[in-house]
Amino acid sequence: MASEVNIPHLRRKTSGWYWEPSRRLRALGFSSEPLGKDQKKAIDRAMDLNKAVDASFQDQRTASPPAGTVARMILDFQTSDRYKSLSDLTRRDYDRYLRVVEEVLGKVAAGSLTRKVVKAFQAGVEANYKPSVAASLLRTFSALCGYIYDQGYFKEHPARNLRIKPAAERDQVWTEENIAALTDAALGAGRPSVALAVHLGFWLGQRQGDILSLPWSAYDANARTCEIRQSKTGTRLVVPVFPELAALLDSTPRRSPVIVVNEGTGRPYTMEPFSKLFRKVAKTAGLPTDLQFRDLRRTAATRLGEAGCSDDEIRAITGHKSRSVVARYVRPNSIMAESAMNRLGQYLSGTLTESPSENRRKKDLG
């Protein structure tokens, strides 16, 4: 099916493959192009055409907005050393949110971003976006204002201490039944790559972007470990691989330098196509609508907590920078409650003994 290929503007018809630009792209001079019946050649050509689209938009963006405007400050910010030092994932998120800022405030003089203007923008964002998106957008806007402040446009940073409304904390965790249902649905749809990605997330506790870019070279089949360099923080982790995951990896064909490969393209996934396909498979599996791929990371942390791991032990797997973040990720549940009451009973009866994990927890506390 064409939808399974997930290449923008690539369509399959009975007569073959076609690249069909949107109305907006046609207005920019792009036109439909027949690509023949060879799927690989069609995909390669469609990706070349999409690169041309990206270049066209970049040309539009770099057409030097008027000096001193917010649009020009955004462009300068994106080409600054500060911006380039950010991780690829962070820059991608910033780019998306800065487009919103430019649409609303691009023509405004940067020096006129008073506290009043900033708070009005904040009110509009919080009224029109869900809390999690609004919070990320406003944090990006604050970073931009910080850059403008450093260029001497303000006497005071106008977006400092915005008191951004926090997004509601998620508490969803995957059950083994959820994993099994998703796996069956993915295999039934001819998408073992989706099941593989979910199992990697379930056992390794890493972010979606790091799972999708994880290379085979990171997996040491003899030592049963995965060496991970987290794209968001640059943190290096060496995570032990459980036998269940090792068996899955050992049985997976190595068709690419990257472990998780899109069956439709033969290439690694990018974030958006994978997310769309994941939601489709999750719907087929009958998973709760609020259960997301990112919840696998919380699930891994919670399972480690159930096993009695200390905060530092959990951080060694998930790569979280602080114990306070781990505390937000690990969701107390009935297993932990039962363990706590069992320990209380042992304490009251004088039979309580400390495990190595509990000794490590003492070290966590200093």
- pLDDT, tens digit (0-9, with 9 covering 90-100), for 183-228: 999 999 999 999 999 999 999 999 999 999 999 999 999 999 999 9
User: What does the pLDDT read at residue 8?
Assistant: 83
User: What's the pLDDT band for 3 if we cut at 50, 70, 90?
Assistant: very low
Instruction: Give the Cα separation of 306 and 298 in Å (integer).
Output: 12
Mean pLDDT of 73-91: 88
* Residue 130, CA distances (Å) to 33, 96, 160, 236 in order: 38, 15, 21, 33
Mean pLDDT score, 84-98: 86
Across 47-51, 122-126, 144-148, 257-261, least confident range:
47-51
- Using only the alpha carbons of the chain, give its radius of gyration: 24
Mean pLDDT of 72-81: 92
Q: Identify whether 354 is part of a domain.
A: no
Domain membership of residue 50 (yes or no) is: yes
Q: Is 168 within a domain?
A: no
Query: For 334-362, what is the mean pLDDT?
Result: 58
Q: What is the pLDDT of residue 169?
A: 74
Do 57 and 106 sit in the same domain of this protein?
Answer: no
pLDDT at residue 80 tops 60: yes
Q: What's the confidence (pLDDT) of residue 1?
A: 40
Q: Over the chain, what is the mean pLDDT?
A: 85
Full domain range(s) for residue 324: 176-331
Strand, helix or coil for residue 18: strand
Q: Please say if the pLDDT value at position 129 is more than 70.
A: yes
Task: Record the tokens describing residue 48, joined without a space.
Answer: 């070349």
- Is residue 98 located within the same domain as residue 234? no
From the number of C-beta atoms within 10 Å of its C-beta (0-12, 13-18, 19+), residue 91 rates as middle
The answer to whether 174 and 295 have CB atoms below 8 angstroms apart is yes
What is d(CA 32, CA 93) in angstroms, rounded to the nearest whole number? 30
| Residue 304 within any structural domain of the chain | yes
Residues 226 and 292 in one domain: yes
CA–CA dist 347, 308 (Å, integer): 17
What per-residue confidence (pLDDT) applies to 62? 58
Cα–Cα dist 117/119, whole Å = 6
In this prediction, residues 79-84 reach a mean pLDDT of 90
C-alpha span between 247 and 24 (Å, rounded): 48
My answer on whether 228 and 184 are in the same domain is yes
- Give the pLDDT band (50/70/90) at residue 301: confident
Could you tell me which of 49, 59, 3 has the C-alpha nearest to residue 26?
49
Is residue 112 domain-shared with residue 57, that is, in the same domain? no
Q: Is residue 115 part of a domain?
A: yes
Which residues are registered as beta bridge partners of 18?
A: 11, 34
My answer on whether 117 and 212 are in the same domain is no
Q: In this predicted structure, what is the pLDDT of residue 304?
A: 84
Asked whether residue 219 falls in the same domain as residue 82, the answer is no
- What's the structural domain count of the chain? 3
> Domain of 249: which CATH number?
1.10.443.10
Residues 6+ apart with CB under 8 A from 91: 83
Query: Which of 202-206, 221-225, 232-236, 344-348 has the weakest average pLDDT?
Result: 344-348
Mean pLDDT of the 41-70 span? 82
Q: Are residues 217 and 284 in the same domain?
A: yes
pLDDT in tens, 257-278: 999 999 988 999 988 899 999 9
Q: How many angstroms separate the CA atoms of 132 and 161, rounded?
A: 17
Does any domain span residue 233? Answer: yes
Residues 153-178: what's their mean pLDDT?
88
Provide the CATH number for the domain around residue 132. 1.10.150
Quick one: pLDDT at residue 360?
Answer: 42
**pLDDT over threshold 80, residue 358:** no
Which residue(s) pair with 226 in the sheet?
A: 219, 239
Neighbours of 102 (CB within 10 A): 19
| 140, part of any domain | yes
Is the pLDDT score of 117 beyond 90? yes
Kindly state whether residue 360 falls inside one of the protein's structural domains: no
Tell me, yes or no, whether 238 and 185 share the same domain: yes
- Considering 4-8, 133-137, 308-312, the range whose residues carry the highest mean pLDDT is 133-137
Residues 313 and 220 in one domain: yes
Task: Report which of residues 334 and 112 the model is more confident about.
Answer: 112
Is residue 19 domain-shared with residue 92, that is, in the same domain?
no
* Local confidence band at 31 (pLDDT 50, 70, 90 cut-offs): confident
Pinpoint the alpha helices (H) of the chain: 23-27, 39-61, 70-78, 81-84, 88-105, 115-128, 131-150, 176-188, 192-204, 208-212, 243-250, 271-285, 295-306, 311-318, 323-329, 334-349, 356-364
Token pair for residue 52? 């041309």
Same domain, 92 and 232: no
